[in-house]
Amino acid sequence: MKIAVTGSIATDHLMSFPGRFADQLIADQLHKVSLSFLVDDLVLRRGGVAANIAFGMGQLGLRPVLVGAVGADFADYRSWLERHGVDCDSVHVSEVAHTARFVCTTDLDMCQIASFYAGAMSEARNIELAPVAERLGGLDLVLVGANDPEAMLRHSAECRERGFPFAADPSQQLARMPGEDVIALIDGADYLMTNDYEKSLLQSKAGLSDEQLLERVKIRVTTLGKHGVEIAGRDFETIHVPIAREIRAVDPTGVGDGFRAGFFTALSWGLGLERAAQVGSLLATLVLETVGTQEYQVRRDLFVKRLGESYGDVAADEVRPHLLP
């Protein structure tokens, strides 16, 4: 499959707070909250949802096309991604802005407080998908991930206009999108990707029931944290997939991106929705077990072994032929 992954490309500044945010928040004082957390460490990592997803796909043997906007400081990051199987030829380089930055602090409960500087990402609204499709000889799927909101709306509109299958993945940008923009983003999507909180927020903003949501999108994929993944569609019974077994949780940043990378890669192999969610869940677990969103490595034998331990030998046997030795 020829997959274009659109969305943010950023550097991550990740910190760990040796306490619990909940202990510092006073319920009747939240309207004037002013807090500073003394953190234990600072780690700089490569990130951004589109880059994270593309990296994960590359780890599984695909060559996804990354589509987004960056600054002139992207050179080293570009080399890293290209070494890991990502096509960066459709990335727009700004002449005036820096690459976006994500600053995130995680507490002992794995709760997070984060800020995001858009920088060059605001220029993603100027990117057209048609030249990408022309260069590749067509597009089998466009993942419309969290990005400059105008870029997200433009990409989904262009997908509808040109007949490109697409996945709507609003993620963090739901917080700033009005209901009419939410509907414009998701309408006609082949897949809608959210977590359970984002699903509730999306439906509240758009005024859509579960049934009405599935009138606008073909398949809804909702991650449920420790409760796994739920997949619903118009023509099949709802599927529930439990999480993969973890060794030790370290950092949840980028876990959702890992799931998406595994899920859509497995679909590109021709596997079904349940198996795709299992592959996505295991890749998400690999992300969870490392600090940083692109610091894990997929080793075929170990990946297949862990897939079998979580989901059985049949799952392992179906996936094994698709992974590079």
Token pair recorded at residue 49: 């949802």
**CATH superfamily membership of 3-18+41-320:** Ribokinase (3.40.1190.20)
Predicted pLDDT at 291: 84
Amino acid letter, 126: N
Choosing from 12, 107, 251, 257, the catalytic residue is 257
pLDDT in tens, 280-321: 999 999 999 998 899 999 999 999 999 999 999 999 999 999
pLDDT value at 8 more than 90: yes
pLDDT value at 178 more than 90: yes
pLDDT in tens, 242-254: 999 988 998 888 9
Largest CA distance in the chain: 57
257 annotated active-site: yes
pLDDT in tens, 37-75: 999 989 888 999 999 999 999 999 999 999 999 999 999
Predicted pLDDT at 4: 98
Token pair recorded at residue 43: 């780690």
> How far apart, in whole angstroms, are the C-alpha atoms of residue 316 and residue 269?
14
Model pTM score: 0.89
Distances (CA, A) of 75 to 68, 80, 90, 93: 14, 9, 14, 10
Predicted pLDDT at 110: 86
Cβ–Cβ contacts within 10 Å for residue 112, how many?
Answer: 16
Half-sphere exposure for 252 (CA within 13 Å, toward CB) = 13
273-288 helix and 49-59 helix, angle to the nearest 10 degrees = 110
State the first-to-last Cα distance of the chain, in angstroms, to the nearest integer.
Answer: 20
Where do the domains of the chain lie? 3-18+41-320
pLDDT value at 220 more than 90: yes
pLDDT in tens, 104-155: 899 999 899 988 788 999 999 999 999 999 999 999 999 999 999 999 999 9
pLDDT value at 238 more than 90: yes
Radius of gyration of the chain from Cα atoms? 19
pLDDT value at 209 more than 90: yes
Angle formed at CA 65 by CA 225 and CA 276, multiple of 5 degrees: 35
Predicted pLDDT at 281: 98
Of 92, 43, 102, residue with least CA distance to 71: 92
Predicted pLDDT at 13: 86
**Arithmetic mean of pLDDT over the chain:** 95
Can you say whether the dihedral through the CA atoms of 80, 81, 82, 85 is positive or negative? positive
Predicted pLDDT at 20: 94
Share above pLDDT 90 across residues of the chain, in percent, rounded to a whole number: 84
Residue 103, class by beta-carbon neighbours within 10 Å (0-12 exposed, 13-18 middle, 19+ buried)? middle
pLDDT in tens, 10-42: 988 889 999 999 998 888 888 888 889 999 989
pLDDT value at 160 more than 90: yes
